[in-house]
Amino acid sequence: MGYKLDLNIPAGTKRCVLVSAPHTSNWDFVIGRLAMWAYQLDVKLIIKKELFFFPMGFFLKALGGIPVDRKNKKSNITGQVAQMFEENEDLCVLFTPEGTRSYNPNWKKGFYYLAEKANVPIYLGYLDYEKKIGGIFPEEFIPTGDANKDILEIKKRYKNVKGKFPENGVR
């Protein structure tokens, strides 16, 4: 598809929370999944349960999808996935914190709280449609306990990354 993949990935990505932003197109999933195979990362994806209908659900699970009910506040998704980290030596869980392909200035914080609870670093993945390059920034991000401040810092790192629809990207 004409993309260049930065294959210099950080060693810590075998056990981490991986953020992927900006998420502005369904193509992000396709291209990103191909990149994860190239990286040989067994990435798990938190995906809204509404997409797990037949036959789509079969394929999403095969691609590492974990169905979650985002509307059920009692489901304790953070605790469930943190338990997965306890049970697995290598686990990389990918999040698109915007929670939508449209512009959303208020990122969902589940990725942050999961990294904090599971005591794992956050790595930042990107797909820049303008430059036609994708990768994972080399620096790990360790939560400080101040989610709002840390998420603003994470967003700054995406300042020059353009999604397929830049008007919906990180600002």
Which residue spans within the chain are E strands per DSSP? 4-5, 15-20, 43-48, 65-68, 91-95, 122-128, 133-136
Instruction: Give all domains of the chain, ordered by start, each with its CATH number.
Output: 4-168 (3.40.35)
pLDDT of 124 reads 97
Give the CA dihedral 14, 92, 102, 170, nearest 10 degrees: -40
Q: Is the pLDDT of residue 77 over 90?
A: no
| Rounded Cα gap, residues 170 and 91, in angstroms | 26
pTM: 0.89
Stretch 89-94: mean pLDDT: 94
Q: State the DSSP code for 99.
A: -
On whether the CB atoms of residues 136 and 71 are closer than 8 A, the answer is no
CA angle 66, 100, 119 (to 5 degrees): 50
pLDDT in tens, 110-126: 999 999 999 999 999 99
Q: Which residue has the higher pLDDT, 3 or 95?
A: 95
